[in-house]
DNA sequence: TATTGTTATACTCTATAACTATA
DNA sequence: TATAGTTATAGAGTATAACAATA
């Protein structure tokens, strides 16, 4: 009898939950939510995206992003700018927004390093590479 | 400048979401919820556990498991049996419950194989091993 | 007619606390 | 006093659909 194979979700679920806890806490330490931090990260990487594009990139929803953007804009961390297509808002982070994003990300990466410390550097690279390939593949499928 | 490192959650979140969708659908095809299927899996592997132990094992919550167990028991898939400690219920799956669990799991594994098909067998093994090690480590930490 | 952003609504999930019965 | 199970409730998170403005 083969050793009973366990569902992948049985190991991915705890990891996702812990990573989410890490991001929740790191973001909260700087006064934003995890999703607001995620929005700042995507818009920092790709300035000029519109709201729908950011929502899809994050697998977030187009209606919930509205209130997050309202708050980020109100706090001067991000701006909505009109483009040629006057329906769509081009999003850009401010200097303050970029600085906050970098601080949160630094904390997140430190805590991720602690979490993965039990794996050899090689194993860590393999894990990150496999996860990124799968994520990219799923983005292409959808 | 190093290539901007992305948060682990950015690749784990889509994977967790897709795996959850797979389990939701596979379980629904057999008339149970994802959590009910997960409960059947744990109790099949470790008969005699009590409710709190199963909840902790799944990172589920001790109150929500009650209604799930009610329904599983009502449908003859699982039984609560009194033990020496008359507060605690010893859980056991019935033959029907074990059969249903195996069918759902078979479907889940087939769909997981499709999802991972883009990785070489070696990469798949590395990924599974790393994820299991991390999950085990997080269980030990908590 | 389709798309972007927005708003409203309902539904699910989750966390918390209290209660009982046993220990 | 502490623990297992149960129940109730409130809050957060989520999905869905409708609407106005623009293309």
Task: Tell me the three-class secondary structure of A84-95, residue by residue.
Answer: CCCCCEEEEECH
A142 pLDDT band, cuts 50/70/90, is: low
Strand D atom within 7 Å of B101 CB: no
Strand D atom within 7 Å of B89 CB: yes
Strand D atom within 7 Å of B86 CB: no
Contacts 24+ apart (CB under 8 A), A19-28: A19/A112, A19/A115, A19/B7, A19/B8, A19/B9, A19/B12, A19/B13, A20/B9, A20/B13, A22/A108, A22/A111, A22/A112, A22/A115, A22/B9, A23/A108, A23/B7, A23/B9, A26/A104, A26/A107, A26/A108, A26/A111, A27/A104
Report the pLDDT averaged over residues B98-125. Answer: 96
Express each pLDDT in A52-92 by its tens digit. 999 999 999 999 999 999 999 999 999 999 999 999 999 99
B5 pLDDT band, cuts 50/70/90, is: confident
Q: Kindly determine whether residue A118 and residue B128, on different chains, have CB atoms separated by under 8 Å.
A: no
Nearest Cα of chain A lies from the Cα of B95 at a distance, in angstroms, of: 18
Cβ atoms A92, A81 nearer than 8 A: yes
Single pTM value for the model: 0.92
Backbone angles phi, psi at A90, to 5 degrees: -85, 125
- pLDDT for residue A3 is more than 60: no
- pLDDT for residue A2 is more than 60: no
Considering only CB atoms, A15 lies closest to which of B23, B41, B131, namely B131
Interface residue of B60, B127, B129 to substitute, partner A, most A CBs within 10 Å = B127
- pLDDT for residue B1 is more than 80: no
- CA B8 – C1' C7 distance (Å)? 33
Cβ atoms B19, B112 nearer than 8 A: yes
Mean pLDDT of the residues in chain B: 93
Can you give the pLDDT at residue A4?
A: 66
Can you give the pLDDT at residue B142?
A: 63
Considering only CB atoms, A8 lies closest to which of B6, B10, B19, namely B19
Q: Kindly determine whether residue A112 and residue B20, on different chains, have CB atoms separated by under 8 Å.
A: no
Q: In chain B, whose CA is at the least distance from the CA of A13?
A: B16
Can you give the pLDDT at residue A6?
A: 86
- pLDDT for residue B120 is more than 60: yes
Can you give the pLDDT at residue B140?
A: 75
Nearest Cα of chain A lies from the Cα of B30 at a distance, in angstroms, of: 17
- pLDDT for residue B88 is more than 60: yes
- Cβ-based contacts of A4 with chain B (< 8 Å): 45
Per DSSP, B93 falls in state: E
Can you give the pLDDT at residue A140?
A: 76
């Amino acid at each position: 009898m083969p050793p009973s194979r366990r569902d992948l979700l049985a190991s991915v679920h705890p990891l996702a939950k812990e990573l989410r806890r890490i991001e929740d806490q790191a973001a909260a330490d700087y006064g934003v939510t995890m999703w607001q931090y995620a929005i700042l990260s995507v818009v920092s990487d790709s300035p000029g995206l519109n709201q729908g594009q950011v929502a899809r990139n994050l697998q977030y929803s187009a209606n919930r992003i509205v209130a997050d953007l309202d708050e980020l804009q109100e706090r001067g961390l991000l701006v909505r700018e009109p483009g040629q297509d006057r329906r769509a808002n081009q999003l850009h982070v401010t200097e303050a927004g970029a600085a906050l994003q970098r601080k949160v990300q630094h904390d997140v990466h430190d805590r991720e390093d602690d979490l993965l410390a039990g794996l050899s550097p090689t194993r860590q690279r393999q894990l990150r590479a496999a996860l990124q390939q799968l994520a990219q593949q799923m983005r292409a499928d959808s």
